[in-house]
Amino acid sequence: MKDSRIPEPVLAAMSGGTHIIRAYREHLGYSIEDLAVACGLSAEEIQNIESGLRYNKGYRDRIARSLSMPVGILEAESDISDAA
């Protein structure tokens, strides 16, 4: 994914196969626990999401806000679709 709204270090990590959430989290210097507290999810849920498991839009929005990600950036990710 090439998006000018995404910082270059995040794009570089993603090109190496890192999930966008993990790439942003690490770019900002957050631990999994830090992000979990910030968005109100459990550390296990964050780990599952970063491992590629599907999750719902509510989680997506909470994570995006917590990481100050560009609006709509997670919706553009085909591997991050709403859970059934």
Q: How many H helices and E strands in the chain?
A: 5, 0
pLDDT digits (tens, 9 = 90+) for 14-71: 999 999 999 999 999 999 999 999 999 999 999 999 998 888 888 988 999 999 998 7
- Domains, in order of start, for the chain: 8-66 (1.10.260.40)
35 neighbors 67 (Cβ within 8 angstroms): yes
The pTM of the full predicted model, rounded to 2 decimals, is: 0.82
